[in-house]
């Protein structure tokens, strides 16, 4: 069972949940529902939904809302997904245009059932965005494609501005919280992305509070820099339910600030660290900073 969250954190969660008001949140929800577009914000029960939706920002979840993996930290449902929807790229471009986004983050469930892991669908989504919203920058937060370089190459050929892949936690905890994933494979994906597309910006995300220690976090940061990862997010793990991995500890604001400083020292160009930071949190702002 998770320990009780500190009062200051609960206050942050309440603030993020309220955002700029229920009406603005409802506007975004109605638009997304009307276009039948799931978001990771809702599927993963992100604590920032109120804040992001009330700013008309969301992170789109393509390739369905059922995942073939089922990580112990993630609220997205495990199951047998449907075939990718052929009109999803156009619907998504329509939502981006109607929300007035200048930067869009797109992620997906893991599709180990598809021969290309969903890479072709990612490429079609980027193509639709380039066609209908050419002024919008595109950030893809991709799964590991089971280590298939051809799948990664297909996604990169579509020309995203940022390729993100979350390392999530320290390697020791992978068997408990990220079964089916492989720490080295995730690092290799980030490295290959830079080799295949040297001008591409790469990004990763790490959760704290799962039971890692400081030396392990330091190693992860160094490993990410070794594969030339340039952008980093570090946030507090919050258990989505009693059935998920419990929180081991709540990290203080000072500790987040200190990891941010350390990551910048190691050479990351952009680092967002804080209890409610998620990989897509204020992604537009961090992309602008390094552009
Ligand atoms: S932080 Fe990302 S996942 Fe969370 S609500 Fe905002 S856009 Fe969605």
Per the structure, the count of domains in the chain is: 1
Within a domain: 2: no
Within a domain: 1: no
Nearest C-alpha neighbor of 277 from the set 238, 235, 239, 221? 235
Q: Whose C-alpha lies nearest to ligand 1, atom 2?
A: 280
Q: Which atom of ligand 1 is nearest the CA belonging to 44?
A: 3
Q: Which atom of ligand 1 is nearest the CA belonging to 48?
A: 5
| Exposure letters 153-183 (e unless 16+ CB within 10 A, then b) | ebbbebebbbbbbbbbbbbebbeebbeebeb
Nearest C-alpha neighbor of 230 from the set 169, 172, 161, 178? 161
36 CA → ligand 1 middle, Å: 18
Ligand 1 pocket test: pick from 19, 40, 166 the residue with the most ligand atoms within 8 Å of its Cβ: 40
Give the pLDDT score at 65.
86
In tens digits, the chain (291 residues) has pLDDT values of: 889 999 999 999 999 999 998 999 999 999 999 999 999 999 989 999 999 999 999 999 999 988 999 888 888 889 988 999 999 999 999 999 999 999 999 999 999 999 999 999 999 999 999 999 999 999 999 999 999 999 999 999 999 999 999 999 999 999 999 988 999 999 999 999 999 999 999 999 999 999 999 999 999 999 999 999 999 999 999 999 999 999 999 999 999 999 999 999 999 999 999 999 999 999 999 999 998
pTM, whole model, 2 decimals? 0.96
Give the pLDDT score at 70.
84
287 CA → ligand 1 middle, Å: 15
Within a domain: 252: yes
User: Does residue 59's CB lie within 6 angstroms of at least one atom of ligand 1?
Assistant: yes
247 CA → ligand 1 middle, Å: 20
Give the pLDDT score at 94.
97
CATH at 156:
3.20.20.70
42 CA → ligand 1 middle, Å: 8
Q: Which atom of ligand 1 is nearest the CA belonging to 46?
A: 4
Within a domain: 238: yes
The residue segments making up the domain with residue 149 are 7-290
DSSP secondary structure letters along 214-260: HHHHHHHHHHHHHTT--EEEEEE---SSTTSPPP--PPPHHHHHHHH
């Amino acid at each position: 069972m998770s320990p009780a969250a500190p009062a200051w954190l609960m206050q942050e969660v309440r603030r993020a949940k309220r955002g700029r008001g229920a009406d603005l949140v409802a506007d975004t929800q109605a638009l997304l529902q009307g276009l039948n577009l799931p978001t990771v914000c809702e599927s993963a029960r992100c604590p920032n939904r109120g804040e992001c939706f009330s700013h008309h920002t969301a992170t789109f979840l393509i390739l369905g809302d059922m995942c073939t993996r089922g990580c112990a930290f993630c609220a997205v449902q495990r199951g047998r997904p449907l075939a990718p929807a052929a009109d999803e790229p156009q619907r998504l471009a329509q939502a981006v245009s109607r929300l007035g986004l200048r930067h869009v983050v797109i992620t997906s469930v893991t599709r180990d059932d598809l021969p290309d892991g969903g890479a072709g669908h990612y490429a079609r989504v980027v193509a639709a965005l380039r066609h209908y919203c050419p002024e919008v920058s595109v950030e893809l937060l991709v799964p590991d494609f089971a280590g298939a370089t051809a799948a990664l190459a297909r996604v990169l050929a579509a020309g995203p501005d940022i390729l993100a892949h979350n390392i999530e936690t320290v390697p020791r905890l992978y068997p408990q919280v990220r079964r089916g994933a492989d720490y080295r494979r995730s690092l290799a994906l980030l490295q290959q992305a830079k080799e295949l597309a040297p001008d591409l910006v790469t990004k990763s995300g790490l959760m704290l509070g799962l039971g890692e220690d400081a030396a392990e976090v330091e190693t992860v940061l160094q490993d990410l820099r070794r594969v030339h990862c340039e952008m980093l997010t570090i946030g507090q793990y919050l258990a989505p339910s009693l059935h998920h991995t419990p929180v081991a500890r709540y990290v203080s604001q000072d500790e987040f600030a200190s990891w941010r400083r350390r990551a910048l020292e190691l050479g990351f160009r952009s680092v967002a660290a804080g209890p409610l930071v998620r990989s897509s949190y204020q992604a537009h702002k961090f992309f602008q900073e390094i552009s």
